[in-house]
Amino acid sequence: RSPSRGLGDVYKRQVLGVKMTISELGSGDTNYSPSFDRIYPKKGYVKGNIVIVSNKANKIKTDATVDEIRKVADFYEKLLKDK
């Protein structure tokens, strides 16, 4: 089964391996609610530049580049391995 479904030019991705669900209003738990994200932030919310990911995945990516996210992951992976 494919991890994405086309919604026109918008794709739904299960980045963190957790099914996205729309949280109950007022529950406060929106980590796995769907969230629109721009693939290339400078391009804006335009056709071909939008993906739906979980709110948590979107927050992790907020201002970081792919390289910066990778460096943070590598740092914590090494830190946890050394303990």
Residues 33-46: tens digit of each pLDDT: 999 998 888 899 99
pLDDT tier at 3, thresholds 50, 70, 90: very low
Residues 20-78: tens digit of each pLDDT: 888 888 887 889 999 999 888 889 999 889 999 999 999 998 888 889 999 999 999 99
What is the distance between the terminal CA atoms of the chain, rounded to a whole angstrom? 37
Output the pTM of the full model. 0.72
| DSSP code of residue 17 | S
Q: What is the C-alpha to C-alpha distance for residues 2 and 40, in angstroms, rounded to an integer?
A: 23
Q: What is the C-alpha to C-alpha distance for residues 23 and 51, in angstroms, rounded to an integer?
A: 19
User: Which tokens sit at 32?
Assistant: 């796995």
- Give the count of beta carbons closer than 10 Å to the beta carbon of residue 52: 19
